[in-house]
């Protein structure tokens, strides 16, 4: 049975949360991980929609440090007041 | 309003001479914008001390998008509070960079209200560049731009804003409608443009003919360059007219042909099109007499990039001729195959040209289901230890 966008988004969010401060994850890292975990219950399109959901509701943000990553919202070190 | 401009003896040197000066422009902006005034101050200090005082911001952006804003913070925020935040916004330009003066005024009004008032028209990717904005002003700028039908462009590991030459709108050599294709690709790939999901950036550049006015062969991961596959059109009367007016056709045209495919007997010009390299030289020299052929489309080349990471690459031929007509299905199918493979196997910060070099062109072509062609071979027989599957099959059959 296919996973819902919300279920995949939650699983991705947990991955990002666990990796925060340890490893920066790219969107494709999340997509590959979901396909590995859920197999045929997910596809790339569904995973992309889950990422969009995570970003649109503000649970995660895109960041750029030499490449684009997905992280939890946080104050970056370079930021000035 | 800035009370007093900082003293800038070093920058003042760059106002000398007859050419426009960016220093003069910033000084003009500084009369109204404290951000521009502080920019002058920090830049003067940078010139004096030979140190760049910028910090990179990696998080700032607008809600839902992962590209289009490049974070910049001053490393000297106490000295220059006006540029404590000085983020850049990339705005998706119209195809061919056509604007009404009214739309430009509206963009500038928005930027003077929310940003530094300084712009950069245009960035190397083609976007309108708005320089200098505080984090809290990003969303208001975005909202106001949307109201006048402008959107943010690409940055980061995403599809960069597609750009093109002015094509059929202004140029007689355009072999396909570059502006229509650019608009279509921009609309079709909105998700890829705003939500970075690639190993690194990916650029399309559309040039209408091999003159390649947008330098797509050097600056885009997929260069789409207009070309023809039949014969160059010759107006014999116009050739005669060029000769009568003193053009040395032998020297200026025939001798400069890289394919050595033009013959001039003093009266008539003939071209062996099978050897034509499509360099456009003869057409450029005799525009009234020669024109591209009638069977027009584009050549697809892949892999160029600027020097960051692995060094500069030029694009290489991927598809020697493809018809470029709506809805561009053949092109989009190929692009999707390239992206699928590159996203799956590419390393972080690896451009598609670097990816092809790493995995090998033959493996890349196998995966995207494109047949190899002679044009892809840079140095024939360079490696005598290359064997071909067909030969191996033949050997097995012999056994």
Annotated domain spans of chain A: 5-17+24-71
Per-residue pLDDT band at B387 (split at 50, 70, 90): low
Q: What is the CA radius of gyration of chain B?
A: 25
State the nearest Cα–Cα gap between B158 and chain A, in angstroms: 8
On whether both B217 and B354 belong to a single domain, the answer is yes
On whether both B184 and B143 belong to a single domain, the answer is no
- CATH of residue B279's domain is 3.30.70.20
> Nearest Cβ partner of A80 from B56, B85, B156?
B85
Q: List chain A residues with CB under 8 Å of B199.
A: 26, 28, 67
Which residues 50-69 of A are in CB contact (within 8 Å) with B?
51-52, 55-56, 58, 61-68
Q: Which whole-number Å values give the CA distances from B60 to A77, B52, B118, B133, B189, in the listed order? A: 12, 21, 19, 11, 23
State the nearest Cα–Cα gap between B352 and chain A, in angstroms: 14
pLDDT of residue B398: 52
**B147-187 confidence digits (pLDDT tens):** 999 999 999 999 999 999 999 999 999 999 999 999 999 99
On whether both B284 and B329 belong to a single domain, the answer is no
> Nearest Cβ partner of A56 from B64, B71, B74?
B64
- Separation between Cα atoms, residue A44 and residue A78, nearest integer Å: 34
- CATH of residue B84's domain is 3.30.70.2500
On whether both B67 and B127 belong to a single domain, the answer is yes
- Separation between Cα atoms, residue B153 and residue B123, nearest integer Å: 11
pLDDT of residue B1: 47
Average pLDDT, chain A: 95
**B111-150 confidence digits (pLDDT tens):** 999 999 999 999 888 999 999 999 999 999 999 999 999 9
Q: Is B205 helix (H, G, I), strand (E, B) or coil?
A: strand
- Separation between Cα atoms, residue A60 and residue A74, nearest integer Å: 9
Q: List chain B residues with CB under 8 Å of A56.
A: 63-64
On whether both B50 and B112 belong to a single domain, the answer is yes
B324 — phi, psi (to 5°)? -110, 90
Question: What does CATH list as the number for A5-17+24-71?
Answer: 1.10.10
Q: List chain B residues with CB under 8 Å of A74.
A: 59
Give a yes or no: residue B382 inside a domain. Answer: no
On whether both B207 and B276 belong to a single domain, the answer is no
Question: Is B397's pLDDT higher than 90?
Answer: no
Q: List chain B residues with CB under 8 Å of A26.
A: 157, 197, 199, 348
b/e code A35-73 from CB counts within 10 Å (16+ = b): beebeeebebebbbebbbbbbeeebbbbbbeebbbbbee
On whether both B317 and B286 belong to a single domain, the answer is no
Question: Is B222's pLDDT higher than 70?
Answer: yes
Give a yes or no: residue B388 inside a domain. Answer: no
Residues of B with CB under 8 A from a CB of A: 55-59, 61, 63-67, 70-71, 73-74, 77, 84-85, 135, 155-158, 191, 195-200, 343-344, 348-349
Q: List chain B residues with CB under 8 Å of A76.
A: 57-59, 71
On whether both B104 and B200 belong to a single domain, the answer is no
Cβ separation A78–B57 shorter than 8 A: yes
For residue B76, which of B22, B115, B39, B114 has the smallest C-alpha distance? B39
Per-residue pLDDT band at A81 (split at 50, 70, 90): confident
Structure tokens at B111: 């930027």
On whether both B257 and B136 belong to a single domain, the answer is no
On whether both B110 and B242 belong to a single domain, the answer is no
Cβ separation A51–B84 shorter than 8 A: no
pLDDT of residue B205: 97
Express as a percent the part of chain B with pLDDT over 70.
Answer: 94
On whether both B212 and B249 belong to a single domain, the answer is no
Instruction: Count up the domains in chain B and report the number.
Output: 3
Domain boundaries, position B37 = 9-147
On whether both B100 and B220 belong to a single domain, the answer is no
A68 — phi, psi (to 5°)? -95, 135
- The residue ranges of DSSP E strands in chain A, in sequence order, are 61-64, 68-71
């Amino acid at each position: 049975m296919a996973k819902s966008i919300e279920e995949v988004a939650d699983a991705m969010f947990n991955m990002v949360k666990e990796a925060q401060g340890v490893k920066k994850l790219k969107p494709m890292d999340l997509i590959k991980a979901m396909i590995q975990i859920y197999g045929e219950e997910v596809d790339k399109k569904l995973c992309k929609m889950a990422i969009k959901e995570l970003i649109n509701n503000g649970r995660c943000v895109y960041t750029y440090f030499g490449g684009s990553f997905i992280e939890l919202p946080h104050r970056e070190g370079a930021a000035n007041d | 309003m800035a009370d007093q401009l900082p003293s800038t003896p070093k920058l003042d040197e760059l106002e000398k001479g007859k050419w426009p000066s960016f220093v003069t422009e910033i000084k003009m902006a500084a009369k109204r914008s404290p951000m521009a005034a502080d920019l002058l101050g920090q830049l003067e200090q940078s010139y004096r001390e030979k140190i760049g005082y910028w910090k990179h911001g990696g998080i700032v952006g607008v809600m839902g998008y992962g590209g289009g804003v490049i974070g910049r913070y001053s490393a000297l925020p106490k000295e220059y509070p006006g540029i404590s935040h000085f983020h850049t916004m990339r705005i998706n330009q119209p195809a061919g960079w056509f604007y009404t003066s009214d739309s430009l005024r509206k963009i500038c009004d928005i930027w003077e209200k929310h940003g530094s008032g300084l712009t950069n028209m245009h960035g190397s990717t083609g976007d309108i560049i708005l320089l200098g904005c505080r984090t809290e002003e990003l969303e208001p700028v975005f909202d106001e731009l949307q109201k006048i039908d402008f959107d943010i462009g690409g940055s980061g590991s995403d599809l960069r804003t597609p750009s093109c030459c002015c094509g059929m709108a202004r140029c007689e050599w355009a072999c396909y409608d570059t502006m229509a294709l650019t608009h279509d690709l921009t609309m079709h790939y909105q998700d890829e443009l705003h939500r970075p999901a690639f190993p690194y950036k990916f650029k399309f550049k559309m040039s209408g003919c091999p003159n390649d006015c947008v330098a797509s062969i050097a600056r885009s991961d997929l260069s789409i360059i207009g070309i023809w596959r039949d014969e160059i059109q010759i107006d014999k009367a116009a050739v005669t007219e060029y000769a009568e007016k003193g053009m040395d056709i032998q020297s200026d045209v025939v001798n400069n042909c890289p394919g050595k495919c033009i013959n001039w007997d003093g009266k008539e010009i003939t071209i062996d099109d099978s050897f034509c390299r499509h360099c456009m030289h003869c057409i450029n020299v005799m525009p009234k007499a020669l024109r591209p052929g009638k069977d027009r489309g584009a050549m697809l080349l892949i892999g160029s990039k600027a020097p960051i990471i692995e060094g500069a690459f030029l694009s290489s031929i991927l598809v020697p001729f493809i018809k470029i007509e709506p809805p561009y299905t053949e092109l989009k199918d190929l692009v999707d195959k390239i992206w699928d493979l590159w996203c799956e196997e590419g390393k972080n910060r690896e451009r598609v040209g670097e990816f092809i070099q790493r995995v090998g062109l033959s493996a890349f072509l196998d995966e995207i289901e494109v047949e190899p062609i002679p044009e892809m071979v840079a140095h024939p027989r360079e490696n005598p230890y290359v064997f071909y599957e067909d030969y191996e099959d033949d050997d097995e059959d012999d056994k």
